[in-house]
Amino acid sequence: MVGANRRARARLVVSFGTLMMAAIHSGASAQTPAQSQQLPPVHVDAPPEKRSAAKPKPALRPQPVARRRAPPVVPAAQPASREPTTDVATKTQESVINTLAAVSVLRQEQITQAQPSRLSDIFNGMPGVWFAERGDDPAASINIRGLQDFGRVAVLVDGARQDFQRSGHFANGQFYIDPEFLGGVDVVRGPVANVYGSGAIGGVASFRTKELSNIILPGEIAAGQTHGMFGTNGSQWLASTFAGARGPAGDIFAGGVYRNSLNYVEGNGEVVPNTGSQTESGLVKLATRPAEGQELKLGAITYNTNYDFGQTSGSEGVYATNVQNQTVTGQYTIKSPETPLVDFRTNAYWNQTFARQTVKTPFIVGCGPGCNIDFTGPVGTTSSFMLNTGGFDTFNTSRFDAGPFGNAVTYGGDFVSDTVNVATGADPGAGAHARRQPRSLWRLRRMACRLFDLV
């Protein structure tokens, strides 16, 4: 308003000066030329206060207003952190969408949402992945693009290979893990993951069990998680508890799962035999960070299940089966904050799978008059199979720039040993399976190297 009034006064002054000039010119004809020359010139000047109108104060006012209206700054790394990453295909951490392989990942939220009772429940909808399962066996056998068994699909649990196999009229390669333990799964389809050996032509299935970061919130030092489930058909029970704490020395995490289900009932009301099982599992993990960029993780998993193994029709032999699976792992990583040439990881593991079967119902087939084939032996006949797998893998990734390109070179190798022990007892059918014969397998994986991978 002040500026407007000043401009209005300036216009009035100019108009008054114009009228004076008109009056002077109108009376000039009655005066002599000398008098007209002596008249002083009329000057119209703006008021002195008009110069002070253009002050910088109004120009400074929009700056705080602009700062208030500006949206909060979001770090560029936050959206990128939501993109899942994997290092299974190439041993180099990268986003799944940028991995030059057919990779699918499952994270904790998706696994929890599925509420799985069997391992295959969390893989519904994943392309190219199928599970060969039996209703009378809680074991899992993964099939990728039609390939399974005999090492065609490398199965890892916290980096430990699961190589247990038994020959029979079902999937030969089996592994045991309670889905309640899982914190993430990475599946690589096809033979692109040759860093796990050329034999894994079907792909790789890498399972990661839960750890403290899956249940603790930022800023917390301790957390716990409990889950329960009940099903009416077959009286299915599930109870799990996980707890952990974080301190200056490191992290500690432990948990246990109890799962029990009886034989389920068909729609016509008949009980389906040999479809129940009872499982107890536990895990413990320790982590320490001795220096910046270094971390040491130790983990142990135990799995114990009891079930009746036999055709669900009940017309063939039935085994009372007990399976125990033990896994111990140790992982050390170092990522140097001074140089990008050091991104080192090594993992050592031991896994043991022990299966004991006791005949409950013999299976004897007649082959003619006076001819019978006893496939199981008498009631109480016991057979056991045990596989010990030990090994380690180590590798390092060096990153550097060469001209306008960023490069990563990953190099390393791994070693694995399988030792089979068999106690056949009086089972006449045990000797018919070559995989049940005692033997020891030693395999050395070739070194894998990725050169000039553009990042």
Contacts of 221 (CB under 8 A, 6+ apart): 245, 246, 247
Of the pLDDT bands very low, low, confident and very high (cuts 50, 70, 90), residue 241 is very high
What is the average per-residue pLDDT within 42-62? Answer: 52
Of the pLDDT bands very low, low, confident and very high (cuts 50, 70, 90), residue 74 is very low
Of the pLDDT bands very low, low, confident and very high (cuts 50, 70, 90), residue 449 is very low
Most confident of 162-176, 188-202, 276-290: 276-290
Token pair for residue 249?
């020395």
pLDDT of residue 7: 40
Contacts of 404 (CB under 8 A, 6+ apart): none
The model's pLDDT over 305-353, given as tens digits with 9 standing for 90+, comes to 999 988 766 567 889 999 999 999 999 999 988 889 999 999 999 999 9
18-27, 136-145, 255-264: the lowest-pLDDT one: 18-27
What is the average per-residue pLDDT within 377-386? Answer: 88
Contacts of 337 (CB under 8 A, 6+ apart): 292, 293
Half-sphere CA count of 330, side-chain side, radius 13 A: 5
Strand segments (E) across 27-180: 85-86, 94-95, 102-107, 129-131, 142-144, 153-157, 160-161
pLDDT of residue 205: 93
Higher pLDDT, 365 or 288: 288
Of the pLDDT bands very low, low, confident and very high (cuts 50, 70, 90), residue 135 is confident
**Could you tell me the residue ranges of all domains in the chain?**
2-69, 85-454
Q: pTM of this prediction?
A: 0.74
pLDDT of residue 429: 43
pLDDT of residue 312: 61
Q: Tell me which residue has tokens 């960070």.
A: 289
The CATH superfamily assigned to 85-454 is TonB-dependent receptor, plug domain (2.170.130.10)
Tell me the one-letter amino acid at 20.
M
Tell me the one-letter amino acid at 173.
G
Of the pLDDT bands very low, low, confident and very high (cuts 50, 70, 90), residue 39 is low
Of the pLDDT bands very low, low, confident and very high (cuts 50, 70, 90), residue 58 is low
**Percent above pLDDT 90 for the chain:** 40
31-40, 309-318, 375-384, 421-430: the lowest-pLDDT one: 31-40
Higher pLDDT, 245 or 81: 245
pLDDT of residue 198: 60
Of the pLDDT bands very low, low, confident and very high (cuts 50, 70, 90), residue 204 is very high
